Every structure is written in C-alpha cells, then in structure tokens.
Amino acid sequence: MGFLKKILEKISPFFTMLKEKLKLNKVIEFLKSFYKRKVLFILTISIVVIAVALSILLSRILGKNAIEINPNQEITIIENLHVNIPKGAFPYEKKFNLIPLTKDSNPGIFSSAPFIDVVYDVKAADGKTDFSYVPMTFRYYFPAKYFLGIDYNNVALAYIPDDGSAFRVFPGCYIGYDEKGYFVEAKSFHSSKIGVVALTPKKQELGIKVLVEKLSPEPAILIVPGTDRNFKGYFKSDESSDLNFWSVAFSNRTIMLYNYPLYEVRSKLYQDMVTDYFKRSELKSYIEFEAERLASELKRFKNFKFDIVAQDIGGLIVTYTLLLHPEIDNIRRIAFVSVPFKGTNISNPVYFASLLYGKNPSALSKVYNLDENIVSSVQTHIFTYLETVNTYWNEILPNSQLLKKFENFKFPDSVKVVSFMGTRPPLGIDITGSGLAKFYPELIKGQGDGIVSTDSATLEGVQLVQIDGDAYTFYSKSEFIEKLKEFFTFDEIKVPEYKDDTYREYVSQTEKEKEVYLSKLIPYRFSGATISDSIVVEPEEKLDYPGNQIAIYKSVVYTGGPDGLFANGTKLMDGPILNLKETFDGVSFRMANEIYFYSPAIKKKYNIVYVSDFLATAEGVYTAVQAGEMISFWDPRGNKIVDLKGQYGRIKVDNNYLIFYTNKQIYVPKLELLLNVPQLENKSIDISDAIIYKNEVLSVTRSYGFLFFDIGTTEGNYVGEGWIGNIKIHHVANYFLTIGKNFITIVDIPERRVLKIIEKLDFDVINSATDGKYLYLVSKDGIYKYKVREY
C-alpha cells in the first residue's frame, strides 16, 4: 500500500492549506479514517472510476441522436418505426439515419400537424435526396386507443415535405395488426420527416354508393374514379351528394359512385380482404382485386342497367372486370377517360429517379433544352402522380403482366365503348423536341394529356376522342359533357298498345322468369324413418364463436348475441345483437336503437322500427307489419308490396330471392308468385321456414311436416308430418336438410324422397345456417360444423 502513502504525502500541503484557510479539521480526520480502512477506500476509488467510465460511454451514446439504416439490412427497427428498404431500391449502397423529433425538441412540427407520437426524420447519410427504384416500406406502431374499429381509417402515416410545408398523408397507406400491436404502413419512393397523424373518425365507404336516385327508365350513371380526386365530382369538401358535378350534368339520371381506396387511407377491414385475396392470386394485383369487387357490386345491383364513366386506373378496373366476368350483362355503355390501356411512363420510378428527381431545374433546362419552369412543372407532375399510385405503379407500366392480358381482349358486342383523352399535358408542360420526349410521350402536346398518350388510350375497335385540355380539366369542359350525353343517349323502347286486351304480342319480364317453372313435379316420397347416425352428415369441428344467432355471407360466419357482432369469432361491434340474418350482399340485424346492414364493403344504419319482422339492405329496410289476421309487407321507400293472411310474418333472402311468408301464405316478389298453404281436413299447417330451389318452393311446418310447391302450377304437397325438422330448412349439396330441436331430417333431391335415417344430435339447436357446403348448428355451448357428403 506504499503508493497510497506517496499520494497522501504529495497532497498533504494542500490539506494543510485547506486546514489553515477553511478550518477543515473534521474533513481531514474523516479522510484519515478512510485510509485506516484501506479496503473501503480502494472500493470507493473503484466506484468513482467506473462511474466516470459509464458517464463517458453514456454521453457518447446519447450524443449520437441518429440511428443508422444499413441497406444490407432489409428491415431496421427503432422503437415504433420499422423501415424496409428492398434490395435494389437504389443503384448504389445507401444509408439512412433516423433522427427522432419530439414535442420538446421540435414544438413547431406538432403545433401545425396532428401527430400523435414521435416524428422521425429519415435522412440519407450521404446527404443526397434520391428517389428509390422500388418503394420503401414504413411501418409505424401507434397506441391502441386510436384504433376505433376494422372499418375506420382515422389513423394515417404522414410526412412533412423538405420545404417545410403542411404535412401530407402517404396515399394508399393502410392500418394493420400483428403481434406487436396496431400499425399504419405506407410505401414510398422517398424519405422525409415521418409520423402518425390522427384524422377525423370516419368509417370507410367501399363499393357502389347511390349518390342521387331518380325515377327514370334511363340507365344509372356509375362513376369509377381514378387518380384525380376531383373526378368524383364533389363541389364541396363535405362531399354532399346534392352538389355533385355528375348529378348536375345528368339531372334526370340515378348517379352512383364506386368507392375504393386508391389514395385514401385503407381500413384494416379493406387491407385484410386484400391480404386474403393475394394469398390466392398469382398476380397479387390491386386492379385485379378491385375488378373482382366491382363484379360483385354489379351483380348486387343486377336490377340496374349502367352507363359507366371511368378514369385512368378506374377504367382499367372496369375493363378487367369484363375480362374476368363476361357473364356480367348489366353494363350498356362505357366512357373511358385518360385510361392507359397500354401503360403510362409517368409511373416509371427508374426514369424519374435517373432523369429528374432531386436535380436542379436550371441545370436540367440546359441538358434537355427546355424552359426552367417547364422542367420544374414536369418534376412536380410526375412526383405527384407516382406518389398517388405508389401501390399500383408497376401494374400500369407499359408491358406489365396485367396489361398484357388486354392485348387480345374485345369488349362484348352488347357494350358500346368510347375512349376520351385530353390534347395537352397539365401545368403548361410540353416537351416536344426535347431530350425527355422519347421517355415521356404522355407529356408531348397533341400526343399526350399528362397521363396517357394517344397510342395507350385505346384498344382495338375502340374509338378515341380528344378534347381540348389536360387529363385533369378536359372532362369538366362543356364539349366533353355534350359528347358524353350524346354517347349515353337512351331511347326508351315503347310497346304499342292493342285494342284487343285478350291478345298480347309481348311477354313481361316476370313472366319470362317464370317460364322455366312450367312443369309438373314428381312428389317427394316418405315411408317412415328411424333415428340413427346418418352417412350424409358428419361432424367436422366445433367452433367457439360467441353468440346465439348466425348468418353466413361469402363464407364468413357472422354470429351475434348479448356481447356483440362477430365475424369468424372476431368482434366487429359491441352491444346486444337481435334478429341477425343473411340479406342481399351482407347481413341484417338490430341493436338497441338502430337497424344495421353490414357487409365487408359497406355498413349502413337505419332508424329502428317496431314491426313483426324486418330485413335491412344497402338500399333500406323491408318491413312486415301485422294488422289483425293480415301481414303487410313494405319496401324501403314506404310502398306496400303485398298483404298476406296469417298471424305472423317473416322476411328472408334465399338463393338471391326475396321471400315474404306468413304461417299461411308465401310471396316471392321477383316472380310475382303467391302460394297458399293447402287446406287439409282436420289438419292445421303453419309454415315456419321456406326456401327456393330451382322450380320449387320448399318449407317446413310447425307440425314437423315437409311442404313443397311446384312454382309452375303453384300446387302444394305435404308429407312426413311428425318426422321433419321444424326450425329451419337448408339446401346443401344434393340434399335438403331440415333442422329440428335435436335432430336433422335429410331429403334426397335427385331421388325426391325423405331418407329413412334421421341424424340424432346430442345437443339442442338454437339456430342454423349453411354456406352451401357445410351445415352450421348453433347450440348454447358453441357452433357445430357438419360436413355434408356429396354424391
């Protein structure tokens, strides 16, 4: 311990001085006591050394306020932000730094924008502002309290431009969920200051929406928008349907709008549908996905005839819909607006990154022999378009996999088509004769309108019409509207009246639909039964889905009860659910204060009505109102459809038919078909459920009987009393399955007989449903799924 003595000898003069000047006798005595305790003194010095070392280390760590992103790492994670830079995104090794910006360090950012958490400045380490060849992915996890439901799009990923202007939402960003929690994700070709913003809570509208309805024989106008936000036609930001450009231009037509989130934030519901579809799709194309959705919507509105106006990507969706579904027959005419059937170079990120992005307009003006202002306008226009189509960009490139499918496509003869485009690019752009012309023919005056070129804007056999203006303005010109009205001209076919009322040379649509049913059916046979295990139905699995009600739409099992509405076991809505059932393109139910129509594409709510029964649809609510021994059935507009005799009334949809029935009568509006329960001596027959299958209406009765009607003759036959399930009847595979409290009776359709073996159940059935392949039985313990054997 000699070195300690030497240290003390050297510093003793210092202590003497302190003693004389500061009278620190007690301090010196205290230090001497430490020396006597040598071990403790050594420990103290060690702690001091370690503390100093740690402080230096921490200061270096904290002093580095940027996290480096290595391009060789595909995903870099910092706190709640994940950054994915795909391989080949840049032509050379590119590193980024993530610099966190908080309310304390940058209060100005948070005071001018609704950011809900830390903003990250994603900056290139080399200081160069490059545009990636393929989009980077930014995923930001946000607090769960901001997630309001699967159909809300109230949270978005946003960025602040380098010029410091107002924040912008990344077009096409979407809300998702994984094991880490809820997130919002966006694809982008550029980096910036990135954060999550909270938007006005609003449920996302998807699918066809009726903007204005007119009682007119003319086809409805369906607007399918594209990248231009103004194409929807709203005059005001509140999107009032009464102030719409298209409803003013076509004041005598019903106006409908096809909603899909091209540039809007995508709800979790929408993105889940996309993810599920991509698992089954080879192309993994958003255009293909939307084409399938549009096809479903057109079939949902099959009673409407449509004239369609579709802009750029919207036009590709319409075209691909007809390519995939030639059976669609309710489209009369299509007017395409700046649709790139053969692709557009405006969506080529490699061209833009190499030729224009981040480069000085003054220097480029000399290189390309263009005015500096035109160069700046070209940069702005292409950047904006690429940002808008950041999830569609590769689908609309020339020679893309998707567009190649259009090469030999021809529109059906029944559909008349015309293609419109502008005569010049926007923002005063014209690159005629410049070095850019060979890359961007869309920006040459006379050959392009800013989105398409004359070569790309049409397909074989489709007329091309150019209107003065650019892609974003020409469709609002009176010249375009007049030509569109001329193209959409509708001449109503009038049927001449005959003086002889007993002779008609035409057949009504309803009668045409009924012609197929004019045949006498062989009655179903029944010769007794026994209870045993059937070979037709066999248990598949038990589903622990909450609820005591069930409805199935597009293979999704919706259940409802006191705890809310569920889809395949996932909660969609809170609160008690009543009268859940399938309807046209969705499900119908009631909550405490409102009636709902719900589907993956749209949700609507209506004022509650206290009636015998109701059925909610996207257009409104059908109701059954009891008055004594009569039930009146009403449509959503308040028009009475029919009065039926009976003590209770029910409304349902089966096989895309609307069915009204009471215990004594059945009415099918589409067929104008009225059926009466047979009058049997000493028997009272009361219908408890009914379905339609081909040329028959089949029902089960409260007295455990099977009642079937020949649609052609309207005759009813009654068999099997005492052995038939009286809760529900379903068509599955080659059988009718009638559901009783604890048994299933099986009717063989081809053999037209009730099978002798009745399937006994070990539980009581509360409700039942089918998806056409499986039978689902609801009990108090859960849902039992049964497989039905096919021939």
Q: Which amino acid is at 583?
A: T
User: In the predicted model, is pLDDT for residue 494 greater than 50?
Assistant: no
**Helices of type H across 219-311:** 245-249, 268-280, 286-300
Fold of 68-198: Chondroitinase Ac; Chain A, domain 3 (2.60.220)
pLDDT, position 374: 96
Residue 596 sits at the vertex; the CA angle it makes with 591 and 601, to the nearest 5 degrees, is: 140
One-letter identity of residue 553: Y
Q: Among 101-110, 416-425, 482-491, 732-741, which is the least confidently predicted range?
A: 101-110
Write the secondary structure of 513-549 as one string of H (helix), E (strand) and C (coil). HHHHHCCCCCCCECCCCEEECCCCEEEEEEECCCCCE
Q: Is 170:188 a contact under the CB 8 Å cutoff?
A: yes
Instruction: Report the pLDDT averaged over residues 449-458.
Output: 96
- Give long-range contacts, CB 8 A cutoff, 24+ apart: 691-697: 691/654, 691/655, 691/659, 691/729, 691/730, 691/731, 691/736, 692/654, 692/655, 692/657, 692/659, 692/668, 693/655, 693/731, 693/736, 693/749, 695/516, 695/517, 695/519, 695/521, 696/521, 697/666, 697/668, 697/673
CA dist., res. 413 & res. 376, Å (int)? 45
The residue among 52 and 166 whose pLDDT is bigger is 166
CATH topology of domain 207-487: Rossmann fold (3.40.50)
Contact between 214 and 304 (Cβ < 8 Å)? no
CA of 755: how far to CAs of 672, 719, 758, in Å?
A: 33, 13, 7
Rg (CA), the chain: 36
pLDDT-based confidence at 46, cuts 50/70/90? low
pLDDT value for 397:
97
pLDDT tops 90 at residue 315: yes
Lowest mean pLDDT among 60-74, 403-417, 585-599: 60-74
**Predicted confidence (pLDDT) at residue 40 exceeds the cutoff of 90:** no
Q: Is the Cβ–Cβ distance between 332 and 358 less than 8 Å?
A: no
Give the whole-angstrom CA distance, residue 141 versus residue 183: 4
pLDDT at residue 696 tops 80? yes
Handedness of CA 170, 173, 177, 182 (dihedral sign): positive
Provide CB contacts within 8 A for 639, sequence distance 6+.
none
CB 530 within 8 A of CB 756: yes
Residue 720's pLDDT band (cuts 50, 70, 90): confident
Please count the other Cβ atoms lying within 10 Å of the Cβ belonging to residue 410.
13
Q: What is the mean pLDDT of the chain?
A: 85
- Residue type for position 394: N
Quote the DSSP letter at residue 492. Answer: P
Closest to 658 measured CA to CA, from 635, 628, 683: 635
Question: Residues 277-307: pLDDT tens digits?
Answer: 998 888 899 999 999 999 999 998 888 899 9
- Structure confidence by residue, pLDDT tens digits, 635-684: 999 899 999 999 889 999 999 999 999 999 999 999 999 999 988 776 77
Q: Which amino acid is at 739?
A: I
> Structurally, what CATH architecture does the domain formed by 517-788 represent?
7 Propeller (2.130)
Whether 709 and 520 have beta carbons less than 8 Å apart is answered as no
What pLDDT band is residue 50 in, cutting at 50, 70 and 90? Answer: low
Report d(CA 57, CA 701) in Å as an integer: 83
Secondary element (H or E) of residue 383: helix 372-388
Taking each helix axis from N to C end, the angle separating 312-324 and 286-300, rounded to the nearest 10 degrees, works out to: 70
Q: Which of 389, 382, 454, 385 is nearest to 420 (CA)?
A: 454
More confident residue, 128 or 371: 371
Question: Tokens representing 421?
Answer: 């485009």
Domain range list for the chain: 2-63, 68-198, 207-487, 517-788
- Tracing tokens 């996290």 back to the chain, one arrives at 67
How far apart CA 604 and CA 616 sit, in angstroms, is: 9
What is the H or E stretch that residue 307 is in?
strand 306-311
Alpha carbon 205 to its chain centroid, in Å, reads 8
Residue of 534, 526, 536, 531 lying closest to 707 (CA atoms): 526
Q: Is 309 helix (H, G, I), strand (E, B) or coil?
A: strand
Q: Which helix (DSSP H) or strand (DSSP E) does residue 63 occupy?
A: helix 38-63
By mean pLDDT, which of 57-61, 66-70, 184-188 is the weakest? 57-61
Among 53-57, 160-164, 389-393, 624-628, which stretch is predicted with the lowest mean pLDDT? 53-57
Quick check: 616 and 631 in contact, CB under 8 A?
no
The distance of Cα 411 from the centroid of its chain, to the nearest Å, equals: 27
CB-CB contact of 342 with 256 (8 Å)? no
Percent of the chain whose predicted confidence (pLDDT) is above 90: 61
What pLDDT does 383 receive?
95
pLDDT digits (tens, 9 = 90+) for 225-276: 999 999 998 754 444 444 678 988 898 899 999 999 998 999 999 999 999 9
Phi, psi of 244, rounded to the nearest 5 degrees:
-125, 135
Q: How much is the pLDDT for 721?
A: 80
Tens-digit pLDDT profile for residues 109-144: 888 788 999 999 998 888 888 999 999 999 999 999
Q: Which residue has the higher pLDDT, 43 or 272?
A: 272
Q: How far apart are CA 702 and CA 705, in angstroms?
A: 7
Q: Which residue has the tokens 């709008």?
A: 257
Nearest to 395 by CA among 406, 384, 409, 410: 406
Residue 443: partners with Cβ closer than 8 Å, 6 or more residues away: 346, 378, 381, 425, 429, 430, 431, 436, 437, 450
Where residue 621 falls among pLDDT bands split at 50, 70, 90?
Answer: very high
Confidence of residue 627 (pLDDT cuts 50, 70, 90): confident
- The mean per-residue pLDDT over the stretch 525-550 comes to 82
